[in-house]
Each structure stands twice: as structure tokens, then as C-alpha cells.
Structure 1
Amino acid sequence: VEDTLLNNLDNVERPEDGIEVILAYNTPTMLDIEKRLRDLALKRPELMLANAYQSRSKVENLNHALNLASGEMIALMDADHIVAADCLRKAWRWLATDTDIVQGRCKIRNGAKNILTSLVEVEFEIMYGMQHHTKSIMFDTALFGGSDGFWKADVLKKIRFTTNMLTEDIDATLRALEQGYTIKHDRSIISTELAPETAGGFWFQRKRWSQGWFECSFKHQIPVWTSPHMSLRAKFMWTWLLMWRVTYDALAVLLFPVLFAYWVNRGQVVLPINRYIIFALIYTMGSGPFEAVLSVVNAPKPRFPAYRVLLYALMAFPYTMYKNIIQMVAIRDHIFGKHDWVVTSHGESSAELEAQK
């Protein structure tokens, strides 16, 4: 927290009227880090420490910070994010027009740590560098991903965040779109973050994301269809991201059970091959490697090494199936009323951070 906070305080280009940096958190007792942050706030008047004493969640921390925020634009960042120096200037180009929300491009900066972080690094480049940008162009809509997002202050203070949603960012996105606000994706507004470095951290992060999307699918699908403010293209995209996303994950995990049942029924191990299956196999198995290659071509410098693209290309199918399994566990947990929020742990020393500046 301290390292990224200092980096952002020192390096972000400031408008003429200056900036305020609100660090939202909650702790019932004084911690050593809070003492150090208070000392820093005395030296840096633009830093405001917002301890939401009665808060029990990240969402309550965010809403508490919104009550304190001033200015015309609010930028939301997770504590591990390092933002580009020109982020405010680039975001304001959009917000000064009729755009209400701008989502930037999130990159992973600890991709070299292990195989898992390498996969997440390429995955994020595909997601933020290609998929979000393409959807924004094709369907004239986008989403706020929870961090590296820039809002018109009056819009965000009206929308706020819902305390009982696991993915408060997607919920806020959909409520904003349903009310007629506009979102754009700008992949030139870059911030870097940390990927989970352990299998456990990855599991709990993605399970929360999956369960949160599942919640939003049932809460927002009909309002999306009935919203008078969303175009047919936007409604199609959000139907794809909401209901079809859930349906696809449920069907995808049935691939091997169906194949096994086919073998049992035939009494022998044979592959049911026809032109359609050959096409589907090539398309499915080739899409991951193809996206990985395009991601490194479109990635801003410094680009990640080519071997990570090769690793992702080889691991794309099992990696996707693993995420589908997480999705199914998330749905099961939701059905049985399990809504635990497990904080994702990240690790990076000050020396590592300094080496990557």
C-alpha cells in the first residue's frame, strides 16, 4: 500500500486545481501502517485517510470515500495499482464530453513470478487489450472493472455501490447503463496490478468474480432487456456476458462426461468425428493461442516475453476448463447461500516494486 501510494502521489500529472487522494480502509484498532500513513498525510496535504470505522466490507469503504470526495472526476484504484502518469489527462478527454465513465487498461506486473502469474498476465492483456476494446467499438458499450476506472463525480455519487453484491463493480456498471449513462474503454489509460501468486489466492478471487457475475446475471438480465436507454447491440452483448456466460460454463464442464457416456454406450473408445466436430475442435482449441499471439502484438511496451505467450497457448484449454470448474463451484455456493468474501493476497517487496518503475 505504501509503495504504490507514494508512486502514485509522486508521478501522476496533476490538473491546475490539484488532486485529492483518498485511501479508504477499515480497522477497529490503530495499526503500525496507519501510524506511518498518518505521518505521510501530514507531509502530503492531498492525501486523505478515510477509515470507515463501522464498515465491514470493501463496498462500505468505497461509499464512505464517496461521501468525502470532491471535484468533477473520481478515479477508482485498488491499493496494488500503479497508474500511468497521464491517466487523469487522458480520462478527462472523455469525461469532458458526453461520456460518463471511462475504463482503462489493467496490466499484470508480476507475471515473471511463476506459471500462474504468467497465465494471468497474458489473460489480462487479451481481456483489457483486445476483448473490452473490441466490445466497446462493436457494441457501443463497456464495463467498469473495479479499478483503473474514471467516473464523473456526480454520476458515481448517484450510482454508488450496493453492499450485498460480490462484484459491486459489475452491478454499478449495469445500473449506470440501465439509467442511460455511457461507458467507454480506453486502452491507452494504463495501470499495473498484481496477480495472485498462489493457487488458493487465484481460486478465491475467481470464485468471487464468478459468483458475483452469477448474481448480476439474475438481477440485471431482465432490466437490461427492458431498459429504454440501451441499444439493441448493447443488449445483445450484455445478454452474452450475463445469461449466455452462465449457460456456457454449465455446458462446457459436461464435455468429458458426455464423451465418456458415449464411449460406455458404444462399448468402445471411439471419437465421433464429422465436419462440424472437426471445425468446432479447431476453432475452440485455436482461439486461445490465436488471442495470445494477438495480445503480444497489441501489447504496449514493455511487452512480456514471447515464451509466456507460448505457455498460455499450450495451457489455454486446461486453464479455461479450470476456470469453468470454479464457475460451477461458485454457482453451487450461491445456491446454498454461501457468500464469503475472501481477501486475495498479493506479494511484492519494495525492492521488486522499485525495480519495475
Structure 2
Amino acid sequence: MTGRAVADDRGAVLVVDDDEMIVGLVAQGLLAAGYRVTTASSGAEALERLAEAVPDVVVSDVNMPDMDGFTLVQRLREDSRLRSLPLLFLTSRAEAADVVSGMRLGADDYITKPFDLPVLVARVDAKRLRPPLPADRLQTDRRTGLASSATFMDELDRERERALRSGRSGHLALLGLNESGSIRARFGERGVDEVLRQVADVLGAVVTPLETAGRTPDGGFGLLLPETSSDDVRDLLQGLSERLAGRRLDIEGSKVSVTPLVGYVPLDAVQSAKQAVEQAGAALEHAQMHLDLRPIAYRPEMLAEAAAPRQPRPLLERLRTPFQVALTFVIGIVLPYFVYLLADRAGFDITPFAYLVVVFSLLVTGIAIWVEGLLALNPAQPPPAPEEQDGGPAYPPASAVIAAYLPNEAATVLETVEAFLRVNYPGDLQVVLAYNSPVPLPVERVLGELAQRETRFTLLKVEGSTSKAQNVNAALQIVTGEFTGVFDADHLPAADSFVRAYRWMADGYDVVQGHPVVRNGDASWVARTVAVEFEMIYAVSHPGRAKLHQFGIFGGSNGYWRTQLLRETRFRGSMLTEDIDSALRVVEAGYRIGSDPYLISRELAPTTLQALWDQRMRWAQGWFQVSLGHLFGALRNPGLTPRQRFGFFFLLGWREVYPWLSVQMFPLIAFYAHRAGGPQHLDWFVPVFVLTTIFTLSVGPWQTLFAYRQADPEIRARTAWFWLYLVVASVFYTEYKNVIARVAQVKQAMREKAWKVTPRAAGTGGAPEGGLTAQAVGPAANDPEHPADEPLVPPPLPHHTTSPSRTS
């Protein structure tokens, strides 16, 4: 039967039951409440009525002929037109299993007979006023208030079509949180909901009315950014990532830091919304590899990387570096010689200008070494240790993060952890070993047992990590200290190191770089050479340069950060010297980095020339990356003082140009000798040449003397090591480092980024080579190739006896 409409029309209800008495009773109650009623005696008949008109609510029995209620609700939920139609079961089947089955099949309510008619009408009212909707059809995500996944995907498809029609591309960005799993394990789903809500608040504050923030089908977050350029998208997403990383989320009274992961893709290059999500998801996975807060743009090779890698060609690999070395000599020596020769034949003698440039570069470099050395004689000191206040501890909680690649550093890592546990720090000290290892190792069991016994020690295995940057970034999820020391797996800190570091923090510094001292100099002449070189770097160059340029440099290890700044900055695994990159970003943002030669840790040096080559090549190419990325921005940065901008120029620009200038003596001498008829006709005793030569030759011994005076007492006691350094440096080491600097630039131009980890072994530094990158010991990364080491002798003044008219 069909009820007539009444004045108070509340809508239509379809009542389905083969019991006419029940149908009449229910219809009478609904009609009295103002509903229009249609009836059917089976599920099959109900489908016929629904084909004629769709009511607001369906009330159905379960046991009926032809088609029962369970089958009816299944058919409704399979029909896109009817899947959102509210359905209430009214049945005598009251077993719990029946209720569960009905609800799982898609019923919106389940009422058992006998029933109270007013209650039934009230429940029909509720479904009419607040009709249930399948989760995938909701316009708004119930957990976050953002666009639901269905709404977001629909809008994504429309925006993709608009981008194709208009030619003005929009972008899709996907946002994830690296800590989602650990938050779920610690706080459960309630904690996850809290995180999602707070992240949604940040997104809601960032997006404009023309942009859309929503959930994606996999439970992540998506951002639709219409008609935006790649540069604008990158800047917006970088700001969003830093904003999330800098916010401490509140979960059940606990403060939690998260690491946002962002991948994005332009919409004019995708064929569907699904493909856009797939490509942005591949970029997001790459962001998770580094955890450095940088948004990653999709590249086609990201989806292809799952394919089997090509087999290397051993012969070509062996010839690659010799070819690159030869290429640098062609570029730096052979090519200039022919340029001088051709210019001369064309009537233009450019060698006087070239000679002046070379002499000027050597003089500038030598003067810089002298100035840094003199300034280092009286290094800056932190204020006295703070006193206890109001009876409480004066020292805040501190953390140490040790980054390790265990196959190469298994022999020394246990010694390192035990040394950190012996550090004398009055406050709470947390020691975190963040490591990666492709194979299980016995030392992991020993470290695990130590972590069970020692509450201050946390063992964190970073699965899938391929770099120190990833290990440190992952450790920041669990760091609890207000300031954090970052160390390599071979560093043994001095007992008072954290106390001294906090004295700098209490004085307003944001980062302080300590003084790594080589502890295995007895292992080989290479290690002894590096030991003296490190004293030149950390005891002389860094403190002197920090005074000269008004900023210090964080060198990757034995450095201490304000934890929140480190969380906001992170290390970028895409950089070969991620430490220097992070330091320069901090300086450019206006933070203070200090250098303390008395903040000591002891580390292992390479013991062979091959190991040293591998280490320094990585450092040199990493510095070149940093120079390309930071130099020009720093020179234009209004927040830097003129002295700081000059420091950036000298640190990033001059150091990359100098290795090429330093070899110009050879083409100049060759050209003058050719033009004079042989080197025997050159005048080697021109006053300018003689004076310049004496000055530049004196720089190396004086720099060594500065290092001896400022060196750590254990190194200073080895006087013979300093004499060895003078001999080695004058014979080949200076040019050895300049060759590395030049080859590194060629490698960067050829996009070569395969590197060997610095070998480690307890006490010797001589572990097997190979494996993943796990070290970046920073400022030394610059200084071994720094133009302020020992300048080469300038070329002779271009003067000869056969052609006075053509002398300079």
C-alpha cells in the first residue's frame, strides 16, 4: 500500500516484509508521524519499487521469500545509485551472529522483534535527518576535517583536466610522517588520530581558498596546488615541511616531534589521478630515504629504480679515475699553454696578466693563512660553568647521537659507546647509537645487551639507511636532550666535553664545533700526516677563521647543536658533505656557530693513501656541491655582514678556483721557455719573483709552527710528526690535495656519486674498504684541499735574455 502525503511531510519510507500485520503496524506508525509509505513483500519486489522511486529510508525484514533481507542489502550496496540509501533491519532473528552479519553487509541499524513502534519511528527519523554515507563517499574526512579521499581524488582529476586544457600546470603534493608507525605502537590509534588532527590544523592554516588539502586513499595527506610554478611549489612545501618539523605535537600529554616527508609532481605530465598519486608517492619514498625535510620532485627514474641494476663494467670503472686525473691536467696545464701560444701568435701576449693572477692568488692564500694563524693564538672561550639554581640542576638534559655503518665500524663502535657512557655530565645524558647494517653482526647482540643494562643507552637500527644523514635524522625522533652532540662511530669524547659544550650553549651559541684529535697516528706515516693536518685545521684554521669571518663551521662530528634547531635543519642525504651544507644553512639563517679547539674528541685517521684518497675525494666533491648551492645566495643575503659574505666567498668560491690557479705556473713556465728557446735562457732572479717565492715558501713552515703551538698536548709531544708533515707536504701532499680538488669537480660534472666508506678498525683505522657511506668529518673536508694550506711556489717572473722587449 502507499500512504497519502500529509501536511507535515517527512519523506518516503519503503517497508519490506512478508507479514502483512507487521507491514500494517509499521505503516500506520510512520503515516501518523508524517511519512509517505510504500510497501513490498520480498526483496525482489522491493527492487521493483526502488526502480520506480527512491525513498528516504528502507525498513526491511530478513526472512522473506524469493529474496531475503541480507541479499537485498547486498544488492543495494553494490548499486552506485542506492549504496547510500539508509536501511534498517526489523526482524525476529536476534542472534548475535545475525546482527553482526547484517551490519557487515551494510545495514545502518538492526532492530529485533518484538519492537516498540515509537522507537522504530525515532530511528527512522534519525536516519532521514542524518543519513549514513559510505566512508569513501564522505565529502569531509571525519578524523581531520579535510577533504575525504574520494572528494580529493575527484578534485585531483578535475584539476588535472583543467591543467591540460589551460596549459597552466598545477601540482599534486603528498605528505607523510616518518614516525607514524612508532606513534601507533606507542599511543595506539588514539595517538594517531591526535597526530592527524594536529597535522590537519597546520595544513588548514597553510592552504589558500584556491588550494585543496585532503586525505589520500592510502591514509596520507594530499595537497592540490593549482596553477603554481615548480619554484613556488618547492618553496611552499619547504616552508610547510619546516613548520611541521618545528612543531612539537601534543599526544596524551607527551610532546612528540615528527619528520614530514613530501613528494610532488606536476599535473600536466600525468594521464590520470591515479598516476599522479603513484608518481608523487614514488617521490615521497625518496624523501623518506633522507629524512632531511626537503620536498622531492618526481623524476621518471624513480619508478624504474626497482628494476635490476645494470652490471658494472670493471675495466671502465678502473679507468674512470685515471682518465679524470689526466683530464684535469689537460684542462689545467695543456689547454692554457696552447691558449698562451695561440694568443702570442695572434699578436696578443696575455701571460703578464696570467702571471699576476697566479702571484696574487698565492699571496692572498698565504696572507689568509697568516691571519688565521695569528687570530688562533688567542681563541674565544666559553663563559664559566653555570651554577645550580634554586637547588635544582644547572645542566639541562643532553643527548649524544653516534652514527655508524657497522660492517666497517663494528670493531670500534663498542669502545665508542662505552666511552660516551663514561662522560662526566651533571645532567641527564642520553646516548643513541643510530646505525645501519645490511647483514646481522655479532656486535649487535652485545650492543643490545648493553642497552638492556644501561638505561642511558638506546640502540636504534635504521633499516634501509644508506647514509649518515639518514641515521642522524632518524635518531632525532627519539632524542630527548635540549642540546645534542653528533659523532662518528670512532670518536671518543673527553670526559668534560658535554659540560664545556653547554657553556657555549648557555652563552647564546646555537652550534659549537669541537676539535677532533687523531688517536692512531702510530699506525702509519699517512695517519701521522693526517694527525698534524687536523691540528692545523681544528686548532688553527677553524678558530682563526671563526674570528676572521664571524662564523664557524660544523664539521659533521664532535659538534653540538640545540636540538630543536637540528630537528628543523636536518642533514640532507643527497649532499656528500651534508654536515657543511647544514652548517651553512644555519649561518645563512642568522644562527651562531662557534669553534672551540679545547672541546676534544679523539678519532681514527685513514692509514693508507688509497683510504685517504677515497675519503678526501668525497669531501672535496661534497664541498663543491655546497659551493654551487650556497655561494651566490650567501653573497646576496642581506642578513649577513660584509665580513661574513667575504667569508663565504673565500670559503666557497676561492677554495674552488685556487686549485686551478695553483698549477698555472707550469703552462706559464713552459710558454716562456718555448718562447725563449729553452729554460736555460730564463732569468730566475727577478726581485718580484724571488720575494714572492720566499714568502710563499715560508707559509708552510709557519703554519706548521702555529699548529705545533696550538696542538693538543698528546700530538704536540710527537715533534717528529710535525717535521714529517713539513717534508711530506713540500714533496707531494699539497699538490696531492689540489689534484683531488680538481678531480672532484670533474666527478661532479660527470654526476659520479659512488663512494667508499672511510675504513675503521679499533686503534688502527684499517678496516676493509667498501660499503655504504657513513662518515663526513667536515671542516677537515674543506681544509685538506683548502687554499689556505701551503701555497705552491709562484712561477718565475717572465724575463729572458734573448728578447728584452717582450719581458713583463
Which residue number corresponds to residue 557 of structure 2? Answer: 147
Note if 1:15 corresponds to 2:414.
no
Note if 1:93 corresponds to 2:93.
no
Deviation at 1:187, TM superposition (A): 1.0
8 Å contact from structure 1 (residues 111, 118) kept in 2: yes
Q: Supply the AA of the counterpart residue of 2:718.
A: P
Note if 1:189 corresponds to 2:602.
no
Matched residue SS, 1:112: helix
Q: Supply the AA of the counterpart residue of 2:449.
A: D
Return the alpha-carbon distance in structure 1 between the equivalents of residues 640 and 601 of structure 2. Answer: 29
Return the alpha-carbon distance in structure 2 between the equivalents of residues 312 and 281 of structure 1. Answer: 20
Note if 1:280 corresponds to 2:280.
no
1:340 to 734, 742, 754: 754
Note if 1:77 corresponds to 2:487.
yes
Return the alpha-carbon distance in structure 1 between the equivalents of residues 758 and 672 of structure 2. Answer: 40
Q: Supply the AA of the counterpart residue of 2:469.
A: V
Deviation at 1:335, TM superposition (A): 0.5
Note if 1:206 corresponds to 2:620.
no
2:736 to 282, 300, 322: 322
Deviation at 1:231, TM superposition (A): 1.3
Q: Which moved more, 1:169-178 or 1:246-255?
A: 246-255
Return the alpha-carbon distance in structure 1 between the equivalents of residues 609 and 646 of structure 2. Answer: 34
Return the alpha-carbon distance in structure 1 between the equivalents of residues 521 and 665 of structure 2. Answer: 31
Which residue number corresponds to residue 252 of structure 1? Answer: 662
Return the alpha-carbon distance in structure 1 between the equivalents of residues 420 and 560 of structure 2. Answer: 15
Return the alpha-carbon distance in structure 2 between the equivalents of residues 38 and 252 of structure 1. Answer: 52
Return the alpha-carbon distance in structure 1 between the equivalents of residues 698 and 452 of structure 2. Answer: 55
8 Å contact from structure 1 (residues 161, 172) kept in 2: yes
Matched residue SS, 2:424: coil
8 Å contact from structure 1 (residues 289, 312) kept in 2: no
Return the alpha-carbon distance in structure 1 between the equivalents of residues 469 and 498 of structure 2. Answer: 23
Q: Supply the AA of the counterpart residue of 2:647.
A: M
TM-score by length of 2: 0.42
Return the alpha-carbon distance in structure 2 between the equivalents of residues 349 and 101 of structure 1. Answer: 29
| Residue-by-residue CA offset, 1:190-221 (whole Å, 9 max, x unaligned) | 11111100111100100011000101111000
8 Å contact from structure 2 (residues 635, 648) kept in 1: no
| Residue-by-residue CA offset, 1:66-101 (whole Å, 9 max, x unaligned) | 122111000001111111111111111111232100
Note if 1:295 corresponds to 2:707.
yes
Deviation at 1:108, TM superposition (A): 0.9
- The alpha-carbon distance between structure 1 residues 49 and 198, as it changes in their structure 2 partners (threshold 3 A), is same
8 Å contact from structure 1 (residues 59, 162) kept in 2: yes
| Residue-by-residue CA offset, 1:269-328 (whole Å, 9 max, x unaligned) | 235442222222122222111111221122232224211111112222321111000111
Matched residue SS, 1:77: strand
8 Å contact from structure 2 (residues 524, 608) kept in 1: no
Q: How does 1:112-127 map to 2 (within 5 A)?
A: 112-127=522-537
- The alpha-carbon distance between structure 1 residues 304 and 326, as it changes in their structure 2 partners (threshold 3 A), is farther
8 Å contact from structure 2 (residues 520, 763) kept in 1: no
Return the alpha-carbon distance in structure 2 between the equivalents of residues 308 and 332 of structure 1. Answer: 33
Matched residue SS, 2:598: strand
Return the alpha-carbon distance in structure 2 between the equivalents of residues 237 and 345 of structure 1. Answer: 32
Q: Which has the higher contact order (CA 8 A, sep 6+)?
A: 1
Return the alpha-carbon distance in structure 1 between the equivalents of residues 472 and 487 of structure 2. Answer: 11
8 Å contact from structure 1 (residues 289, 314) kept in 2: no
- The alpha-carbon distance between structure 1 residues 267 and 167, as it changes in their structure 2 partners (threshold 3 A), is same
Deviation at 1:340, TM superposition (A): 1.3
Return the alpha-carbon distance in structure 1 between the equivalents of residues 729 and 697 of structure 2. Answer: 8
8 Å contact from structure 2 (residues 434, 472) kept in 1: yes
Which residue number corresponds to residue 172 of structure 1? Answer: 582
Over aligned residues, Cα RMSD in angstroms?
A: 1.7
**Max radius of gyration: which structure?**
2
TM-score by length of 1: 0.94
Which residue number corresponds to residue 44 of structure 1? Answer: 454
Which residue number corresponds to residue 354 of structure 1? Answer: none
2:544 to 109, 119, 134: 134
Return the alpha-carbon distance in structure 2 between the equivalents of residues 273 and 330 of structure 1. Answer: 36
Q: Supply the AA of the counterpart residue of 1:286.
A: S
8 Å contact from structure 2 (residues 531, 605) kept in 1: yes
8 Å contact from structure 1 (residues 197, 347) kept in 2: no
- The alpha-carbon distance between structure 1 residues 315 and 279, as it changes in their structure 2 partners (threshold 3 A), is farther
8 Å contact from structure 2 (residues 513, 560) kept in 1: yes
Structure with the higher fraction of residues in helix conformation: 1
Matched residue SS, 1:34: helix
Return the alpha-carbon distance in structure 2 between the equivalents of residues 225 and 138 of structure 1. Answer: 17
Return the alpha-carbon distance in structure 1 between the equivalents of residues 665 and 524 of structure 2. Answer: 29
Note if 1:226 corresponds to 2:636.
yes
Deviation at 1:28, TM superposition (A): 4.0
Matched residue SS, 1:323: helix
8 Å contact from structure 1 (residues 125, 299) kept in 2: yes
Structure 1: runs of 5+ lacking an equivalent = 351-357
Q: How many residues align?
A: 349
| Residue-by-residue CA offset, 1:211-270 (whole Å, 9 max, x unaligned) | 001011110001211223321111111110101100001111333343233323322123
Structure 2: runs of 5+ lacking an equivalent = 1-412, 765-808
